[in-house]
Amino acid sequence: MKPTKELLDLAAENHRAWLLNFKASGTTQTAEEIIEDHGCKFGTFLSSIDREFKLDPAFRETARIHVRFHYLCSVEVTLTALGIPVHPHLRNEIEKTSNALLESLSKWDIP
């Protein structure tokens, strides 16, 4: 399974309000600064999940990959929406993360 247009559309919808505020603020951030901002939110979110649910190490790794996948998709959607060219390396990372997530999930007995 690879990231689909539907998944990217969903990520775009989830970030719509953030993007509107971001654009309205008249930002002068570069692509690197936007990615760093997303990265800080990603790290904070993952830490809060781990603290609240006390994840076992194997499940923590699956959760980390899952959240990273959504983070990478949201960065791509954000950059695209702002008209900033997306580097091909980002798309490669999304596909690698998607494959790693599927491999990790296949080890779990999920109903």
In sequence order, what DSSP letters do the residues of 40-60 get, joined into one string? HHHHHHHHHHHHHH---HHHH
Average pLDDT over residues 99-108: 74
As a whole number of angstroms, the distance between CA 38 and CA 43 comes to 9
Residue 53 lies in a domain: no
Q: Which range, of 73-77, 88-92, 102-106, averages the lowest pLDDT?
A: 102-106
Position with higher pLDDT, 30 vs 81? 81
**Domain containing residue 83:** 1-14+59-106
Average pLDDT over residues 85-109: 77
Residue 41 lies in a domain: no
End-to-end, the C-alpha distance of the chain in Å comes to 19
Residue 72 lies in a domain: yes
Residue 69 lies in a domain: yes
Residue 89 lies in a domain: yes
Token representation of residue 34 = 């936007």
The structural domain count of the chain equals: 1
| Predicted local distance difference test score (pLDDT) of residue 64 | 76
Residues across the chain:
111
94, 72 Cβ separation under 8 angstroms: yes
Residue 2 lies in a domain: yes
Residue 31 lies in a domain: no
Residue 9 lies in a domain: yes
Instruction: Indicate the average pLDDT of the chain.
Output: 69
